[in-house]
Structure 1
Amino acid sequence: MRDGKDIDIMKNVKIVEWLKCELLSSVAGLFQLLQSGIKNTKEDMLDLISNIILLTYLLGKRLGLSYESIDLKVEDKIKLGLIEEHQVEKWYGDLSELHEYYNTRR
């Protein structure tokens, strides 16, 4: 019985390492795309950013976090940014827009 548990632990460690590498590759890909400037397409940026978000959720799940707890923490951070008048909110109102988006999704 212990062998099955050891296999599960090793499988989880392996997938966590794979997710970390994929996340790093996606972030690097986004940085390269932004740096190149010329060939930036919204579709390429959308693909990379959505992949980063997806991988982050999956990594959180493998590390023992629920999707709901991640969402709640993001919402808390949005609210904190609004209270503290984060620079991105002052200049662009992005946090207010994101807060409204989260509220309408429910």
Structure 2
Amino acid sequence: MTPNSEREVDLAKRAKIIEWLKTELVDQMAHLLKGIWEGSHHKIVDGLASLISCCYILGRRLGVSYRSLDEAVLDKMKKHREDGHQLEDWYGDISALEDHLRKR
């Protein structure tokens, strides 16, 4: 195999994996929603864990490091908190997530 054809195969493989991860996101969202509908704590936790891990891996495949994704989530939570997001005002969810991420 020539270097050029190896590069083309690698590019096709990377594109295929990204497409597969996108379908996994949809599939896991359906799994989560079904778990919510059924009231199954196990399915809810499993669906959320699958979505989160899939997002991290998709980000990595797209060139986003885990650390930069974590930092972006923290930045987003900080902005939401500063903007008076309703979830923060009513439940303190935004600052709770910020605290959780900072303590990891």
TM-score tier (shorter) = over 0.9
Per the TM alignment, residue 60 of structure 1 is displaced from its structure 2 partner at its CA by 0.7
* Number of equivalent positions: 102
Please tell me the residue identity of whatever aligns with 1:54.
Answer: S
Distance 2:100 2:30 in 1: 27
Distance 1:102 1:48 in 2: 20
Matched, 1:104 2:98: no
Which residue matches 2:86?
Answer: 87
Structure 1 gaps of 5+ residues are: none
String of CA shifts for 1:8-47, please: whole Å, max 9, x gaps: 100000100110001101112212222x3xx322211110
Which residue matches 1:8?
Answer: 10
Which residue matches 1:17?
Answer: 19
Which residue matches 1:74?
Answer: 73
Per the TM alignment, residue 48 of structure 1 is displaced from its structure 2 partner at its CA by 0.5
**Runs of 4 or more consecutive aligned structure 1 residues displaced over 6 Å after TM superposition:** none
Please tell me the residue identity of whatever aligns with 1:28.
Answer: A
Residue identity (%): 37
Which residue matches 2:44?
Answer: 45
Distance 2:69 2:19 in 1: 20
Secondary structure of the corresponding residue to residue 5 of structure 1: helix
Aligned alpha-carbon RMSD (Å): 1.0
Distance 2:34 2:79 in 1: 31
Structure 2 gaps of 5+ residues are: none
Q: Which has the higher contact order (CA 8 A, sep 6+)?
A: 1
